[in-house]
Structure 1
Amino acid sequence: MSAASCQLTEDQFLCSICLDVFTDPVSTPCGHNFCKACITQHWNVNVPDQCPNCKKLFYTRPELQINTFISEMAAQFRQAAQQEASSSSSEPQAAKPREVPCDGCTGTKLKALKSCLVCLESYCETHLEPHLTRPGLKRHQLMDPVENLEGWMCLKHNKPLELFCQTDQTFVCMLCTVLDHKNHNVVPLEEEYEGKKAEMKKTEAETKEMIQKRRLKIQELKHSVQLSEEQSAREIAGGVQVLTALKESVERSQAKLILTIKEKHRNTEKQAEGFIQELEQEICELEKRSTEVKQLSRSEDHLHLLQSLRTLKAAPPTKNWTGVRVRPPSYEGTVMRAVQQLEETLSNQMKKLFEGELKRVQRSAVDVTLDPDSANPYLILSDDGKQVKLGDVQKNLPDNPERFDTSVIVLAKQSFSSGRSYYEVQVEGKTKWDLGVVRESINRKGRITLSPQEGFWMIWLRNENEYYALVDPPVRLSLRSRPQKVGVLVDYEEGLVSFYDVDAAALIDSFTGCCFTEKLFPYFWSMSYL
């Protein structure tokens, strides 16, 4: 099929609506042809129905039938066009916008395959052949096609930039190495390229590793948030349960208090009502007698009065009310007793709460042993590293940097630098003891100041029943009972150090809002450790 006939056929078989080759062509009464879908959609959108070409108006939409002749012709045209396209696809393709065009092509610029740094031109497959066959051109330096070949030439010596000066970090030609860059560290461009490529590969690997670490950190943080959410839900549920129970206890105590007071008042009211009823009965009898006497006394008949007196009823018996009293009940101590009972209930609830908290804390238990390298020479450690006591004689020990020389202190071997850690210390029978945690860099020589500012978070016992939290100045603690076993919890990220009376399931004291930046070591003095 010739180009002219192909063009003619294409014009004849284009739908004037979609401007593409007919699909299911139909003819209107006015003789124009359209794709069935195109003309149907056109009439559905545009009112009234008329021919898009000649504008002939149809008062009744025509019934459209497929034009089989045009349909067959359109199919033949598509087949011929596809064959022509496939036969022309093997011909050399013109350079696309982002491809380097051949400098040797005079008509259509074909895609270049190589660039010559000597000729400063790029060539397609046809025009590249002389550089591959002629001896004089074989010596030219070829490279992958690039635009702006002048940028690959030394402006000073008009030679290819084949080398790289690592001293000046610039591209140079062969003449530059013996003139301006003499004695410089110069390497071939390919070598520098490979080196930089290796560096970039290493950087890419390092970057990927950094990305992976950060993704893992994101997962870790999300997991921490999830754990926090679960823990907060448990704490809220537990707290609501405890506080609801406390609220119900208060309401029951209040109701019981009101009932007790009202019962006392009702008893008093009932007693008074009984007395009042008796008094009113006596008054009624007395009033009757008074009326009879009054009526008799008005009689002027001497005989009748005297005779009536004989038959007059005797005065009704009456009660001596002089000593009768209704005393208001004493409410003194009623409220106090109710509060005491409520306090006992609250104390039991608090104990249950702390028992639950202590059980959760004890899940973070760690094994701790004493470090002999840190122990003051007066301290005596057990062989298993679980007990320490104060001796009478100073042992001859090496004065290493970890050892306390004047303060009778010993630290544990284990340290805490993340998460939650818990351990327990047996202090039963001890009249003096210190315990807590310290940071690694504390002063271990000479006089030591025990305070959080100096890296000590601890409590101690003095004079058998005087407990103190070591802040500046120390704060005396009020404890209901003497602890026999003390639990120590360290939450590194939370900045928390808490002390528990294990047997009483009670919180002794807490250091909160601490900022930990170093390892923390358990601290002991004069005690047995479990």
Structure 2
Amino acid sequence: MAAVGCLLTEDQLLCAICLDVFTDPVSTPCGHNFCKNCITEPVDADVPFQCPLCMKMFYPKPELQVNTLISEMVDTFRRSEQRPARQEEVFLGLGSKPMVLLLCVVFLSLLLDCMKFNHPLEEMSKGEKLVKMEAEIQQTIEEIRLKVEELKRSVELGKEDADREMADGAQVFAALKEYVEKGEAKLMETIREKQRQTELQAEGFIRKMEQDIRELKKRKTEVELLSVLQLEETAEMKEKLPNMVARVELRRVQSYAVDVTLDPDTANAYLVLSDDEKQVHDTYVEKNLPYNSERFYYTTAVLGKESFSSGRFYFEVQVEGKSEWTLGVARESINRRQDITPSPADGFWTVGLSNGNKYKAGPDVALSLQSAPKKVGVFVDYEDGLVSFYDVDTAAHIYSFTGCSFTEKLYPYFSPGLEDDGLNSAPLIITPIN
């Protein structure tokens, strides 16, 4: 044993785990040696045992016995060296050649194998020992290489699993996003549909209430008319009766009032409309407007935006301060490209003022008015073929076109007349019904 101790160095008696000289060395079934505490402490009895050097698996866990030969060699070495085996010194002694440690471990394993099969180390030639050591090293290298390949394959499989999980997650997220977007769109559509239904219902209520208001106004007018007729016909009442009847009649037609606005797409290029599209007047400055087949090109006129093809409607226009104007209704197919005089034959039913004091219905019917109207009311009964004009302030009836045959849409018609050096600069104004 002393001879063996002389052959061995400290590097050959190191545990591959703690890198220190063996303490209570034990051998694994695969022939490798370790400190008893290094190889037994971290091992769970229920977990398969794996050799730290060759990676061989053993199950159940083998019982590791103290290697008395190695233990005696360590004791002999320590006695001969008379110095403690410290990890720091061993590590510094190895320097940058960790293969020395591996060779030492393999040599010790080879020594144990020789003893196990009754082949003493002394009986093996130096060449045989080197060949066996080379074979052991090559086997260890191959086993490590296989472990490296297994580890690389495990990493690749893990990467493939991660990529697959990421792809699956992306699909789930996309499906969830699509579901949320569809749900949001459906919710928005439900809200919009509910709003539309609410608006339609409200419009229906409004139309019904407006109709009720008109009916109540007509009933009130009829009651007022009956009350007037039932009054005692005194001389004073006979004088007031025509005016009272006119007031009642005006209130009756006013019950059919509609909201009218001016249509800028039909306005002559010399006309100026207000921002609220309720006023219009003439200027001497022609605007550069795009071509529009609905526009008046030679007549200083404009139509209302609203059209009517049935029922009754009424609107009022302020004409105060003007020396020329024309008001009424016109059918949709009127000629807007030529300068024509409005007449029923050409699709116009109008009254107007010219030269400051000449009132006419259409181009030919002269009108004699007791006073110049400041505000004119226009009433149309489409089915009865009636167009009537009223002086709103006095409730006087100005003129009516009767027996008309309407087959097209009718539009309110407005012509403020030429500006006439400021004498006729006041605008025509569509006013609300009081």
Q: TM-score range by the shorter chain?
A: 0.3 to 0.5
Which one has more relative contact order, counting CA pairs under 8 Å at least 6 apart?
A: 2
TM-score, normalised with respect to structure 1? 0.37
Quick check: which has more Rg, 1 or 2? 2
